[in-house]
Amino acid sequence: MNGIPTYHFKSIIEYHRITGLPKPENPLISLIDIKDIKPPRVEGPFSIILDFYTVSLKRGMNAKLKYGQQSYDFDDGVMFFTKPGQILGFEFEKETLDTPSGWMILIHPDFLWNTPLAQSIQQNEFFNYSVNEALYLSEKEESIITQIALNIEQEYHNNIDKFSQSVIIAQLELLFTYSERFFQRQFITRKISSHQVLNQVEKILDEYFRDASKIQNGLPTVGYIADLLNLSPGYLSELLKVLTGQNTQQHIHNKLIEKAKEKLTSTQLTVSEIAYELGFEHLQSFSKLFKAKTEHSPLEFRQLFYS
C-alpha cells in the first residue's frame, strides 16, 4: 500500500499477543479495555487487516484512523465497525498524557457459526458504512451501548456452559439493533451534509445523461454513483431513503423518466431512438419502466402532451 507497512492479524489470539494483552479466555470472541492495549510503536503510518469482526467505542486516542476515503479522530465518542478483510490505516500523533478509553469487541466468524446472526451480520450495513462513516454517540447513547458491552463482558468471564454462546449472541443482536437506530438518527441530524450528497447525486445523474459516451455504456448503476461519492452502495441508498423515501436505484429511474419525458415532448425522435439515447438496449425494457412510472406508454404520453 504505497510503501506503508501492513500487518495481518489472522486470529484473535494473535491480536492479543501482539498488542500485549493476556491470552483471551475464548479464542473466538474477546472484549478488550482500550487502555490495556499496548501496540508496538511503529514510526509513521501503518495499516492492519483483521480476519475477524470488530465493534469499537473509543475516546481520546492520540491517533488518526483512516478507512476508505475518510479519517477520524477520537475527541468524541466514536463507534465503528469492521468486517474481516477490511484495511484500516493508523497514524499516531505526538505523545500525550491523556489516557485513551473505551472498549473493543473482537468476534471471529466461527463464533457465529450455525446461528441466525451468522447471516444477518452480513446484511448489517454499518459494517459497510464503516468504510466511510463512523457513528458519533451522545452521552445517553454511549451509556446504552456500553451497558450492552458490559453484559457481554460479564457473560464472557462467567463459567462457560451450554447457554453462554446464546446469551452473548443475543446481546450482540441487541447491540446491532441499537446501533442501527443510532445510525438512522445520525442520518437525520446531519441534514446539511446529507442534502449535499443528494445534490451531488442529482448532479452526477444530470451529467451522465448529457454525456453520450457514457450512455453508450448503458444506464448508470448504483455502484457507479456510490464510487464517485466514496460511499458504499448500501450506505448511499439508506441515506437517500431517509431523506427522500427512495433508494438510489429509484433516483436513477426518476431521472431517467424525467429525461425521457423531455425528449418525448421536445424532439421528433422515435421511442426506439429515445430508448437507445437513454442507455437501453431493448425498447421493451424502456417502455415497461416508463409505463410503471407514469401509467402511460411512451407513445401515449407523447399523444397526451400534444392533444
Our count of domains for the chain comes to: 2
Residue 23 within any structural domain of the chain: yes
Residue 154 within any structural domain of the chain: no
222-250 average pLDDT score: 84
**pLDDT score, position 176:** 94
Domain that holds residue 14: 6-137
Domain boundary (137, 161, 176) is at: 137
pLDDT band at 71 (very low <50, low <70, confident <90, very high): low
Same domain, 202 and 290: yes
Same domain, 11 and 122: yes
**pLDDT score, position 192:** 47
Question: What tens digit of pLDDT does each residue of 72-101 get?
Answer: 555 566 888 888 887 777 776 655 556 778
54, 12 contact by CB (below 8 A): no
Statement: residue 233 has pLDDT above 70? yes
Question: What tens digit of pLDDT does each residue of 114-165 get?
Answer: 899 988 887 777 776 555 567 888 889 989 999 999 999 989 888 778 888 9
Domain boundary (119, 137, 155) is at: 137
Q: What is the CATH number of the domain that holds 297?
A: 1.10.10.60
Q: What is the CATH number of the domain that holds 38?
A: 2.60.120
Same domain, 196 and 76: no
Closest CA to 184 of 231, 151, 248, 141: 141
Same domain, 217 and 300: yes
Residue 151 within any structural domain of the chain: no
**pLDDT score, position 69:** 47
Same domain, 14 and 133: yes
Q: Which residues of the chain form beta strands (DSSP E)? A: 6-9, 29-33, 46-50, 53-59, 63-67, 70-72, 78-82, 87-92, 101-107, 135-136
Same domain, 52 and 126: yes
Q: pLDDT averaged over the chain?
A: 83
Question: What tens digit of pLDDT does each residue of 154-195 get?
Answer: 898 887 788 889 999 999 999 999 998 888 777 666 654 666
Give the rounded percent of residues in the chain with a pLDDT score beyond 70.
84
Residue 84 within any structural domain of the chain: yes
